[in-house]
Amino acid sequence: MSMIFSGRQANPISTSDGDFGKSMNWKTRIALGASLIVSHFAFYVLGSVLNRHMMLGAFAKEVQNANATVDLGLYVDYRDTALAIKAKRYDDALCATELGASGRYDDLKACLTTKDCGPAIKEQLRKVAPEVLGEAPMRFTYYRSQNGIRSCERVP
């Protein structure tokens, strides 16, 4: 026997009367809700882990590339200095090393002005390079950069 109310057939899971879920017991509702929360959390954690791994890999690659560029520059400086000494061009070798020291001096002075770099290196500078801190006299000829260029031909 079919029940008809207001021209519609009664349906125990009908949503038109706002009674969806009344036929679902409370244990099933809790289990469904918990499984949704756990699955969403698992996707979030997995996505976070994968994203972190990818970002760290990209960061490591960029650091390696930057270090390679610095290493290349230092290699060329040391190679040219060694070749100048070998050829007994001592003035050229001295110029190259003083230009390099002048550049590193400026880099260290710039580091000292930042809150992240300065405190981290200050004690090391005090031990091995107190001239950078102004605590000792400069022991080499410092060549100031002019328009991004340093040259031994200018008066320091």
Segments in 1-156 forming alpha helices (H): 26-86, 90-112, 118-128
24 token code pair: 């679902």
pLDDT at position 129: 94
Please answer whether residues 144 and 156 qualify as being in contact, where contact means their C-beta atoms are separated by less than 8 angstroms: yes
Checking if the pLDDT of 27 tops 90, the result is no
The pTM for the full model equals 0.57
Four-CA torsion 91, 94, 95, 98, nearest 10 degrees = -160
pLDDT at position 138: 93
What is the arithmetic mean of pLDDT over 21-26? 69
Checking if the pLDDT of 15 tops 70, the result is no
Reported as a pLDDT band with limits 50, 70 and 90, residue 148 is confident
Q: Is 101 exposed, middle or buried (0-12, 13-18, 19+ CB in 10 A)?
A: middle
Checking if the pLDDT of 20 tops 80, the result is no
Q: 3-state class of 133 per DSSP?
A: helix
Q: 3-state class of 153 per DSSP?
A: coil
Q: Could you tell me the sign of the dihedral formed by the alpha carbons of 86, 91, 95, 101, in that order?
A: positive
pLDDT at position 73: 85
Q: Could you tell me the sign of the dihedral formed by the alpha carbons of 12, 15, 19, 25, in that order?
A: positive
Checking if the pLDDT of 72 tops 70, the result is yes
Checking if the pLDDT of 14 tops 80, the result is no
* CA–centroid distance for 31 within its chain: 42
- Higher-pLDDT residue of 1, 144: 144
